[in-house]
Amino acid sequence: MILPLVRRLSICLLAGLTVTPLPARADPGVVSVDELTSLGQIGFAATGFEMPQMSPALPLLNPEDSSPEAALLRRLENAGKAAGFEGVLYDNRDGGHSVLPQGTFPRLAKLQYGPQLQEKGADYGLAGKILLPAIVIGNSSTAITRGKINRSQPRLAMATEKGSVRAFLTYVSNHLYIYPEHKDHDTVDLYPANWPYMVISQGSSRSDKPFLRALLMTVAALQPATRDILRDKKLIAPTLQMILRRSQKGVYSRDDYMSGRAHPVVFDKKGLAPERMVSMAAALSPDEIPPVVQLTVEEESFREKAGLARLSEKLFTTPSAIARLWRSPDYTQRMVVSASETEDPNGWRLKFYWVLLQGDPERVRIKTRGQNETGAEIEIDWHDTFAPPAVQPRPTNRVDIGVFAWNGAHYSAPAIISIGFPGHQARRYEPAPDGSGRRLVSIDYDAEGRKAYYDPLLYWTAPWADTLSYDRAGGIAGITRRTNGDTMRLSTPDRLPDGRLVSYLPEDTKRGRYLTMRIEAAE
C-alpha cells in the first residue's frame, strides 16, 4: 500500500530494488559501506544488513525498573502476548550524548556503523540517509548551534526538499526518531510545518530520552501477530505516532484526539503516559490496525513563483505532510486536497475527518467533498502572528490542518497540511470597496530594521516598506516605496512610471538573506 506514494515521489524503496545477494557477514548488527545500495540523491538502502541475535536468556527490561509500564510489559511477556525486541534496533545518533542507560533494555540490539561510515558522519545527526530492513527506533540529541541557520534537526529537515523526502521515507520504512526542539519552540514556535514523520521533544539535550524509552516499550508491547503485519506493511511508525498522541495526558476522548491538544508540533514529556501507551499497544489486534493517510493536492492557488523574490510557495509535498509558505500579497488562498488513495490495511471502508488543529476558525474554511469525506476544499485567510489556545501556547505563524482516517476501530495518525506565514513582514489589509474580500494596503519588508526574526533558509529581509493605492476598478494604481529615508514611486512591483523595469534578487551573506532591488532600462 506504500508503493503508490513512492511512485508519486519518483523514489524507489527497498521493495523495488533488484539486489545481488551478499555473502553472510561476520559482524551482524553493523552497517558498512559495502552493503549499501544507492537510492539516488535521497540516500542508501542497507540491503546487506544482518540483524544481530540477542540471547533470549536476557531479561526484556531492567529488573530494577519498578514503573507501572514496566510491570505491565513484564506481565504481557510472561503471558506470551508481547513481541519484545526481536527485529528491533536502537540507533543513537549523537555519539552517546543522550544514550539509553546501559541495562535499560538488555535484549535490545544497538545499531553500529562501520569505520568508513563513522568517518563520513553517517552515524551522527539527522537520520534518513540510510534505510535498514528492520524496525528502528532512534534519537539524536543534536542541533545546529552556530551560524545564521542555527536550528534543530527537525527544522533543518523541514526547510529542504531532500530533508522532507527523507523524513517521509523513514516514516514508511518502520523507522522513528526523536529529536529535541532546542530553542525552536521555547518562547516562540519557529517551525514552518508540522508533520508525523518524527517526534520532537520540548527542551534541549536529553529531553528526547523519556520519549525514546516510552516508544521502545510500546513497540515491545505489541502482539506478535500485530507487529508482524505492521512491519510487513511498513506501518510501525504511523501506528506508534497514533498511540503516542492518543495516550497523552489530557487526551481521553475522540474530541480530544481530533484537536490541536493531541497533535502539537513539539511534545512535552509532562504529557507522556507510558503505561497507557503500553496498554493500548497490547490491545491492538491484527484486524484493527489503522491506515496511514495519503494526501494528494488536486488544485491550489499557492504558486511556484510568488512575491517580490519570485520564490516557490510550495515548501514540500509528501503523502502524509504538505507545507506551503505564504509569499503572495493575496488575503485568501485555496487548496483542494484528496485522501482517496488511502487504503485500510484490513480492507475496511474508511471515513475521513478534516480538522483545524491550529489557526483562527474565522479565517480557515474547510468544506469536505465526496463519499465519506475523502476530499476537502480549503480556504485560508491571512494570519498575523497568533498564540493558539493549546496546551503549549506560544506565538506562531503557522496554521495546521489534520486529516484523519477512521476504520471503525481506530483513528489513524494525522496527515498534516501546514501553511506558514511570513510573520516578520508587517502587513495591513483592508476591506475592498466592492465587498469582494480584503486587499493589501501596506507591507513592511524590513525585518532586520524592526529586529524581527526571519528564517534565512526560507525568507529574506529588505530595507523598504510599500504602500499600495488602487484605482476605481480595484487594480493597483501605484506603489509608494520608502527606503533608506527616501521615497520612490512604482506603477507595479516590477515597473517604474517611466517604464523602467525593477527586478529583485535574494542574496545570501554571513548575516542573513537580503533582497536587492535592481532598476533596468525599459524593454
Q: Does position 75 have pLDDT exceeding 50, yes or no?
A: yes
What are the tens digits of pLDDT across the range 115-133? 999 999 999 999 999 999 9
Q: Give the C-alpha separation, 141 to 397, whole Å.
A: 26
pLDDT confidence band for 391 (50 / 70 / 90): low
Q: Give the C-alpha separation, 157 to 128, whole Å.
A: 10
Q: Does position 47 have pLDDT exceeding 50, yes or no?
A: yes
* Nearest CA among 383, 378, 376 for reference residue 360: 383
Q: Give the C-alpha separation, 247 to 72, whole Å.
A: 15
Q: Does position 390 have pLDDT exceeding 80, yes or no?
A: no
Q: Which residues 6+ apart lie within 8 Å of 475 measured at CB?
A: none
Q: Does position 72 have pLDDT exceeding 80, yes or no?
A: yes
The pLDDT score that the predictor gives to residue 26 is: 41
* Nearest CA among 54, 115, 24, 156 for reference residue 457: 156
Q: Does position 9 have pLDDT exceeding 80, yes or no?
A: no
pLDDT confidence band for 250 (50 / 70 / 90): very high
DSSP string of 188-255, one letter each residue: SB--S---SSSEEESSSTTTTHHHHHHHHHHHHHS-HHHHHHHHHTT-HHHHHHHHHHHTSTT--SHH
Q: What is the DSSP letter of 452?
A: -
CA dihedral defined by 410, 416, 417, 420, rounded to 10 degrees? 150
The pLDDT score that the predictor gives to residue 418 is: 98
Q: Which residues 6+ apart lie within 8 Å of 124 measured at CB?
A: 93, 94, 95, 140, 142
Q: Which residues 6+ apart lie within 8 Å of 93 measured at CB?
A: 123, 124, 125, 126, 127, 138, 139, 140, 142, 177
Question: Edge-to-edge strand order for the sheet containing 199-201?
Answer: 109-110, 88-92, 135-139, 175-180, 199-201
The pLDDT score that the predictor gives to residue 440 is: 97
Q: Does position 435 have pLDDT exceeding 70, yes or no?
A: yes
Pull the grid cell for residue 163. 530533508
Class of 296-420 in CATH: mainly beta
Amino acid at 442: S
Longest dimension (CA), the chain: 85
The pLDDT score that the predictor gives to residue 10 is: 36
- Domains of the chain, by residue range, sit at 67-286, 296-420, 426-520
pLDDT more than 70, % of the chain: 94
Helix (H) or strand (E) holding 78: helix 68-78
Count of residues for the chain? 523
The pLDDT score that the predictor gives to residue 389 is: 79
- Cα 215–Cα 221–Cα 223 angle in degrees, nearest 5: 130
Please answer whether residues 342 and 350 qualify as being in contact, where contact means their C-beta atoms are separated by less than 8 angstroms.
Answer: yes
Q: Kindly state the average pLDDT of the residues 11-26.
A: 36
Phi and psi at residue 146, in whole multiples of 5°?
Answer: -130, 160
- Cα 97–Cα 102–Cα 108 angle in degrees, nearest 5: 105
pLDDT confidence band for 3 (50 / 70 / 90): very low
Q: Kindly state the average pLDDT of the residues 479-503.
A: 94
Q: Does position 24 have pLDDT exceeding 90, yes or no?
A: no
Mean pLDDT across the chain: 93
The larger pLDDT score, comparing residue 2 to residue 108, is at 108
Can you tell me whether residue 507 is helix, strand or coil? strand
Q: What is the DSSP letter of 260?
A: G
Question: Edge-to-edge strand order for the sheet containing 37-38?
Answer: 37-38, 44-45, 130-131
* Nearest CA among 62, 113, 109 for reference residue 90: 109
Q: Does position 433 have pLDDT exceeding 60, yes or no?
A: yes
